[in-house]
Structure 1
Amino acid sequence: MRALGDKNCYFIVCLIDSSPVGYLSAFRFPTVKNDVFYVYLYDIIVDEKFRNKGLGSRMIAELQRHCKEDRVEQIWVGTSLENEVAQKTFERTGAQKVSETYVEYIYRINIEV
């Protein structure tokens, strides 16, 4: 929960009749230019019953609005090649495809809790 109070974390919740039906999380980080930032759109989820109603697009638009206020130069988002729904959503909301390959790696860090 620490991220919720961090000014570099964005967490947007989509409510319908006061019930959460979707969310978006993203993280801001500095660039080598001192006065601008980039944002990584980490996750965007909409409950299956509420998909195809423009809710994901509205959350992305809200993120873009906040990013403009926060001097963010670009938002980066990635998805798998098979996730055509996500690709169409990103393109429909103004994202430009820069690559058609996606290779994912993970570093496992063993920490003691």
Structure 2
Amino acid sequence: MEIRRISHVEAVKAAGHLFDTSPRQEATERFLADERHHLLIGYVDDVPAGMVTGVEMTHPDKGTEMFLYELGVDESFRGRGLGRALVSALADLARERGCYGVWTITGEDNAAALATYRRAGGVPEEEQVVLVWTFDQP
């Protein structure tokens, strides 16, 4: 397996099956244009097999941390350590970029994601609640 940092829209389109829905052209261009946004794709025999996205977030009194936004592994490649390798690669990139840590959110019933994150060194944050505001998409 080879993990590549992606900077071209064509590579995202070729790996579109790894995302929840097909990547949108304008959103993809905007994501890739921002140096604080990161997309890593894991390839097996040059086939996109998994991806992870991260977004650097900076706060005046905390510094910069990496938000692991999404992890996706093609079903036929699951159970081979690709998800863990992608999470670890994003954590390594976060360290290289001076982030003090990485964080993510997943459903408490998502056993596969929880196992992957724990194998990659993640630990649950105690007594946290996630609140969301959802807006209609244009």
TM-score range, shorter chain: 0.7 to 0.9
Q: How does 1:20-99 map to 2 (within 5 A)?
A: 20-33=48-61, 36-99=63-126
Relative distance call for 1:33 and 1:104 in structure 2 (3 A) is closer
Structure 1 runs, 4 residues or longer, greater than 3 Å off: 99-104
One-letter amino acid of the counterpart of residue 28, structure 1: E
Aligned equivalents of 2:101, 2:124: Cα separation in 1: 13
Q: Given the two structures, how large is their TM-score scaled by the length of structure 1?
A: 0.86
Please report how far the alpha carbon of residue 2 of structure 1 lies from its aligned counterpart in structure 2 after TM superposition.
Answer: 1.6
Q: Is contact 1:80-1:102 (8 Å) kept?
A: no
Over residues 25-53 of structure 1, what are the superposed CA-to-partner deviations in whole Å (9 max), with x where a residue is unaligned? Answer: 1100112237x311111100000000000
Q: Given the two structures, how large is their TM-score scaled by the length of structure 2?
A: 0.72
Aligned equivalents of 2:70, 2:34: Cα separation in 1: 17
Greater alpha carbon shift after TM alignment, 18-27 vs 91-100: 91-100
Higher helix share: 2
Over the matched positions of the two proteins, sequence identity in percent amounts to 25
Over residues 51-78 of structure 1, what are the superposed CA-to-partner deviations in whole Å (9 max), with x where a residue is unaligned? Answer: 0000011111111111111110111111
Matched with 2:35 is 7
Number of matched residues? Answer: 110
